[in-house]
């Protein structure tokens, strides 16, 4: 067989890693610090706000990917059992 194989246990480990990475990123956040950047203070705060919004999207992507991989593992097991037991 060419290519690779990934069993349900490996898929669940990957799903767990993805979710944990999203959680770690989410928990690493802090409030935007009070900055004094003179005339560009508002622009710096706006840049931080955009960055924070992007991090929220990355966290959601990690969680979503973890869920999708976990769902794939469950489908793998169900399909394998159906083939094995002739359902």
pLDDT, residue 36, reads 86
Q: Does this model's pTM top 0.75?
A: no
pLDDT in tens, 7-18: 889 999 999 999
Judged against a pLDDT cut of 90, whether residue 30 lies above it is answered with: no
Find out whether 64 and 9 touch, Cβ atoms under 8 Å: no
Task: Map residue 33 onto helix, strand or coil.
Answer: coil
| CB-based contacts of 62, cutoff 8 Å, min separation 6 | 18, 19, 21, 22, 25
Whole-number Å distance between alpha carbons of 12 and 32: 35
pLDDT in tens, 33-85: 778 899 999 999 899 889 888 998 999 999 999 999 999 999 988 887 777 77
């Amino acid at each position: 067989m060419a290519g690779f194989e990934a069993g349900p246990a490996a898929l669940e480990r990957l799903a767990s890693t993805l979710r944990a990475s999203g959680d770690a990123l989410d928990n690493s956040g802090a409030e935007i610090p009070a900055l004094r950047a003179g005339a560009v203070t508002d622009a710096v705060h706006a840049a931080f706000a955009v960055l924070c919004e992007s991090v929220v999207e990355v966290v959601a992507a990690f969680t979503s990917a973890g869920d999708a991989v976990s769902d794939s593992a469950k489908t793998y097991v169900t399909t394998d059992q159906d083939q094995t037991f002739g359902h």
